[in-house]
Amino acid sequence: MRGSVTDPTSAPGHRHLRRAAGTLASAALLLPLLGAAPAQSATDMSSAGRLQQAFVTAAAEYHVPQSVLLAVSYLQSRWDWHAGAPSVSGGYGPMHLTDPRTALATTEHYAEGSEDARGDSARAALHPDIEVPADTALPARLRTLPRAAELTGIPADRLRTDPAANVAGGAALLAAAQKDMGEPLSADPAAWYGAVARFSGADDTATAAAYANDVYDVLRTGEERTTDDGQLVALAALDARPKLGADTAQLRRTGLRAAAAGDDVECPKSVSCVSVPAPYEEFGDNDYGNHDLGDRPASQRIKYIVIHDTEGAWDGVLNLIKDPTYVSWNYTIRSTDGLIAQHVKAKDVAWHAGNWDVNARSVGIEHEGFLAAPDAWYTEAMYRSSAQLVKYLAHAYGIPLDRQHILGHDNVPGPTTSTIPGMHTDPGPYWDWRHYFELLGHPFERTGGAHAGLVTILPDYASNQPVYSGCTTQGVPCTAHGSSEVRLYSDHDVNAPLIKDIGLGKGPTDGVNDLSSRVSTGQQYALADRWGDWTAIWYLGQKAWFRNPAKQATAVPASGLLVTPKDGLASVPVYGRAYPEKEAYPAGVPAQSVVPLPYTVPAGQKYVVGDTMPGEYYYAVTFTTDSHRVVIGKDLCYEIQYGHRVAFVRAADVRLVPSAG
């Protein structure tokens, strides 16, 4: 959805967990896990090594193994500081210490824009009025910073603004958790599994165990990166040691409640997953909500996974999903610990994307977060939990792990011309697609030669910082921040006008929600031209330029299939949905109009093919399912990367051409 200025409140709720996540080894860890960071040299002690030294100092002071402290911090923040700004769940600094005074928002889910999440023109538009839930007391997982202040004697303000103090606060919390369980402050990292589980802030053993397992995965593999403020931090890999397990008795001594058994959820065993069902209820004059019952993949394939952000805090959003008059999505993922809640089964059709064709072929995943708050940042715990869920779904339903099938909500096309301006723009420019696909095990990379006919957008997230405005106040520049997106110009000059999207009915801006002239990491486009450090692509029927210097490339050569209008055609229409031809509809199912968007593919232009599919329409306008039908046509369509959003063209209008070497 669109990002907006948010309200400083939060609404916690209740959760019902099903089971411990993952298979935990029963034997205790016997071998010490050493290998935290390499020995400090004089160079390391420079400004670029201050944070590494902070881990050394805090580990020694609070008697926590340095490797454990580093691994926990990595799962919290990837060691980033975010200039002292809080995450979506009010967490500060490298250790993500949470503070109840942080601005936690409860802005309603689809707060801005006119998008009908159902996106089905066969039914009246759905724009429900939603009352935002009232505040309740903050749970313990959102009050770790005051607790760290008590344990260390360090003022809360310093814990928020000083990365070294923040690391010390995290070490103190880990040590306190270890003592509370009656465990010694061992030098053996293997003995800290229970304390790590407690640090997650989860209130049940399933979520805490899933979090701790991820931390110990980081211990095994090691990590090294330069943080957002230029700090080089390293954790040496421990993969040469025996496979790490865990003493399950430690979990029982954490004092956390046991996970409830029996919830029927569709999640990988490596995560913690709960069932918070979206209601399927009838009300009013033949109206019902908040999703449609289906029979996927038997009735039709699931082709897409759509990534959203909630524009609201966890507990308030979970209250919204329980409202039958509201809309729905399949999953929500919590920021603090990566807990997943499933709301709608994959076989059923949730109302989330604003395009009925995409809804009928997709699964929607919401992430606790805010598009327009660049430093209300996503935790590594949430990224990793989300990636595990997406890998599970992709394997189960044969969904390719690429940007043509793993879409942002901002990549979903408006189904008709009138809907284009109201389509939502999440997860926005600050979602780290590059890192996300690395976690998915499908990193973006060069796949074409020197004369390739298309490119994959691939800027360096941290150093790529286009100027956006409107994060807090319209027209006011947003905080400088890394971004997945690259800006497009009408000529090879940063002073040239931005590319215009005629479907929006207004001129382009640098607004954080204005997608007119932006491409995103992982998206692919046909090469149109080159000029020095500039590259041009075909985009929205225009030649669009972006800076792509060899020494700091924002795109790499790629290979693939392209479409171009058939010979003799001046242009071909572009569609927002791939519906069947009129003749395919059986009696009793009204034929849906196939009206093109205000865009075309002109002769001579080329666009990257994402998928080939027959026209399909899922007819579901009644509460009972006896009248539901999946209509499949004979005419084929191609999904193409047309602008920032994908679109569709009829196969009969275009010809396929391979990209050049």
Q: Are 571 and 601 in contact (CB under 8 A)?
A: yes
651/563 Cα distance (integer angstroms)? 9
- Closest Cα partner for 3 from 374, 502, 406, 377? 374
Structural domain contains residue 24: no
- CB atoms under 10 Å from CB of 364, counted, come to 28
Say yes or no: 653 and 576 in one domain: yes
Q: Are residues 423 and 325 in the same domain?
A: yes
Q: Is 447 within 8 Å of 558 (Cβ atoms)?
A: yes
pLDDT at 376: 64
**Which residue bears the tokens 């229409």?**
573
Q: How many CB atoms lie within 10 A of CB 279?
A: 17
Q: Which of 558, 581, 607 is the C-terminal boundary of a domain?
A: 558
Asked whether residue 83 falls in the same domain as residue 181, the answer is yes
- Count how many domains the chain has: 4
Report the CATH number that the domain containing residue 199 is assigned in CATH. 1.10.530
Residue 290, preceding peptide bond in cis (omega within 30° of 0)? yes
Give this prediction's pTM: 0.89
Distance in angstroms (rounded) separating the CA atoms of residues 330 and 115: 18
Domain extent for 642:
565-658
Q: Which structure tokens are listed for 609? A: 């093919």
36 found inside a domain: no
> Which residues, including other chains, have CB under 8 Å from residue 130's CB and lie 6 or more apart?
108, 109, 110, 320, 323, 326
Residue 6 lies in a domain: no
Do 438 and 452 lie in one domain? The reply is no
Same domain, 196 and 77: yes
Task: Strands of 30-172 (E only): list them.
Answer: 91-92, 97-98
Residues 183 and 234 in one domain: yes
| Residue at token pair 């392209």 | 562
Q: How many CB atoms lie within 10 A of CB 624?
A: 9
Q: How many CA atoms lie within 13 A of 465 on its CB side?
A: 10
Whether 540 maps to a domain, the answer reads yes
Domain boundary among 218, 252, 286: 252
Parallel/antiparallel/unpaired status of strands 654-658 and 607-619: unpaired
Q: Are residues 108 and 237 in the same domain?
A: no
CA distances from 465 to 437, 483, 545, 547 (A): 20, 6, 17, 13
Q: Which two tokens stand for residue 233?
A: 């931090």
Q: What is the pLDDT of residue 312?
A: 75
The reply to whether 30 falls in a domain is: no
Counting Cα atoms < 13 Å in the Cβ hemisphere of 336 gives 25
Q: Rounded to whole angstroms, how far apart are CA atoms 469 and 482?
A: 14
CB 457 within 8 A of CB 554: yes
- Please name the residue that has the structure tokens 């910073």: 145
Q: What integer pLDDT is reported at residue 106 of this predicted model?
A: 40
Contacts for 150 with CB less than 8 Å, ≥ 6 apart: none
CB atoms within 10 A of CB 482: 19
- Same domain as 432, residue 292: yes
Distance CA 223, CA 85 (A): 24
Closest residue by Cα to residue 80 from 226, 277, 228: 228
Question: Nearest 5 degrees, angle CA 346-CA 347-CA 353?
Answer: 60
Radius of gyration of the chain, Cα coordinates, nearest whole angstrom: 25
Three-state SS at 547: strand
Helix, strand, coil share (%) of the chain residues, nearest 5: 25, 20, 55
The span from the first CA to the last CA of the chain, in angstroms, equals 39
DSSP tally for the chain: helices H, then strands E: 12, 28
Give the orientation angle of helix 380-397 with respect to helix 205-221, to 10 degrees: 90
CA-to-CA distance for 374 and 393, rounded, in angstroms? 28
Please state, in angstroms and rounded to a whole number, the distance separating the CA atoms of residues 481 and 500. Answer: 24
In a domain, 457, yes or no: yes
467 in the same domain as 526 = yes
Residue at a domain's end among 252, 275, 294: 252
For residue 198, CA distances in Å to 186, 254, 491 come to 17, 6, 55
Tell me, rounded to whole angstroms, the distance of Cα 551 from its chain centroid: 29
What SS3 state is found at 459?
A: coil
Q: What is the dihedral of CA 162, 167, 168, 174, to 10 degrees?
A: 150
* Side-chain half-sphere exposure of 473, counting CA atoms within 13 A: 2
Strand partners, 307: 365, 408
Tell me the two tokens of residue 96.
């993500």
Report, as ranges of residue numbers, the positions in the chain whose pLDDT lies below 70: 1-48, 100-114, 127-137, 239-248, 260-263, 370-376, 661
Q: Which residues pair with 455 in a beta bridge?
A: 525, 557
List, for residues 409-428, the tens digit of each pLDDT value: 999 999 999 999 999 999 98
Collect all residues with Cβ–Cβ distance below 8 Å to 153 and sequence separation of at least 6. Answer: none
SS3 389: helix
Residues 173, 150: Cα–Cα separation, whole Å:
10
Cα–Cα distances in angstroms (integers) from residue 327 to residues 115, 126, 401, 629, in the given order: 11, 8, 27, 21
Tell whether 15 is covered by a domain: no
CATH code, 270: 3.40.80.10
Q: What are 130's two structure tokens?
A: 């939603």
CA 437 – CA 434 distance, rounded (Å):
5
pLDDT digits (tens, 9 = 90+) for 558-570: 999 999 999 999 9
Beta bridge partners of 291: 350
Query: Are the C-beta atoms of residues 547 and 494 closer than 8 Å to each other?
Result: yes
> What is the pLDDT at residue 480?
86
Same domain, 222 and 151: yes
Residue 26 lies in a domain: no
Return the number of other C-beta atoms located less than 10 Å from residue 160's C-beta. 22
What are phi and psi for residue 195, nearest 5 degrees? -65, -40
Q: Which two tokens stand for residue 289?
A: 């909500």
Asked if residue 317 and residue 412 are part of one domain, the reply reads: yes
**Residue with the two structure tokens 């999946």:** 630
Q: What is the predicted pLDDT for the residue at 478?
A: 87
The pLDDT score that the predictor gives to residue 246 is: 56
Size of the chain, expressed as the number of residues it contains:
661
User: Read out DSSP for 302-346?
Assistant: --EEEEEE-SB-HHHHHHHHT-TTS---SEEE-TTT--EEE-S-T
Q: Is the separation of the CB atoms in 337 and 207 below 8 Å?
A: yes
165 and 133 in a single domain? The answer is: no
Short-list 136, 134, 139, 142, CA closest to 100: 142
Distance CA 65, CA 33 (A): 9
